[in-house]
Chain A
Amino acid sequence: EADIYQTPRYLVIGTGKKITLECSQTMGHDKMYWYQQDPGMELHLIHYSYGVNSTEKGDLSSESTVSRIRTEHFPLTLESARPSHTSQYLCASSDPSGGGYGYTFGSGTRLTVV
């Protein structure tokens, strides 16, 4: 049973549209992450947050933005979608126990921009 939820699971959208990918977790984790995953490629960190009102950009440059107003919610927004944004987006949160590496992943959002 998943404790971290991503919606929508699949999204096809036209170029130039604004979209928000939702991610919510019920575990009370402070640390949350967004990864971008393309076929045959490693997962790339695009954003992370260590708590409310804390957001940082990851290693991979991304035109998306994130917010963390509530502990459980970490949405990702694209102001103007482009075909280059087509990818799978994975949200994760981490547990303070286990050395801080108890990662739980959501099921992902597969985004296609046409």
Chain B
Amino acid sequence: AQSVTQPDIHITVSEGASLELRCNYSYGATPYLFWYVQSPGQGLQLLLKYFSGDTLVQGIKGFEAEFKRSQSSFNLRKPSVHWSDAAEYFCAVGAGQAGTALIFGKGTTLSVSS
């Protein structure tokens, strides 16, 4: 069965420092992969997605993610974190027929220190 693991429950990063959030998935074929961000009291906003092609994808707000098939990973990165990036981040996988509901990880909470 498909699954998503986000190993880090909570990460604290200094403002201006780089960020990497980890995501590992389990799926037999090439998955559709997503990163979402959720600010307190809000719904989820799509940061970026990978379907096929270039394994390094660019998203909104300066985020990027790299798909590594050999490691079953799709880690999210940002070179310089801003205080406004503090939020919860969810990795998700879509598998099978397009439009099938997404499977989410448990999320990583990002805190940004000044």
- CB-CB contacts of B6-20 with A at 8 A, as 1s and 0s? 000100000000000
Known: A42-B107, A105-B45, A107-B41. A31 touches B99 (CB 8 A): yes
Assembly CA distance A107 to B98 (angstroms): 24
Q: Is A98 a contact of B49 with CB atoms below 8 Å?
A: yes
Decide yes or no whether B56 CB sits under 8 A from chain A: no
Please give the distance in Å from B84's CB to the nearest CB on chain A.
18
Q: Which range holds the interface residue count of chain B?
A: 20 to 34
The 0/1 profile, CB within 8 Å of B marked 1, for residues 84-106 of chain A is 00000010101010111111011
| Chain B residues whose CB sits within 8 angstroms of the CB of A41 once the complex forms | 106
A45 and B104 CA atoms in complex are apart in Å by: 9
Interface centre among A6, A9, A98, A110 (most CB of B within 10 A): A98
Per the CB 8 Å criterion, the residue count for chain A at the interface is 30
Contacts of B83 in A (CB 8 A): none
CB-based contact B45/A99 at 8 Å: no
CB nearest to A45 among chain B residues: B101
Residues of A within 8 A of B9 (CB): 40
Instruction: Judge whether B107 and A99 touch: CB under 8 Å.
Output: no
A113 within 8 Å of B by Cβ? no
Cross-chain pairs A/B with CB under 8 angstroms, 6 sampled: A33-B101, A99-B32, A101-B49, A101-B98, A106-B43, A107-B43
Interface residues of chain B, those whose CB is within 8 Å of chain A, are 4, 9, 32, 34, 36, 41-46, 49, 51, 90, 94, 97-107
Told that A2-B43, A6-B43 touch, could you supply 19 new A-B pairs with CB distance under 8 A? A4-B43, A33-B101, A41-B106, A42-B4, A42-B90, A45-B102, A45-B103, A94-B99, A99-B51, A99-B94, A100-B99, A101-B34, A101-B98, A103-B102, A105-B43, A105-B44, A105-B45, A107-B42, A110-B41
Give A residues with C-beta under 8 Å from B.
2, 4, 6, 9, 31, 33, 35, 40-43, 45, 48, 50, 58, 90, 92, 94, 96, 98-103, 105-108, 110
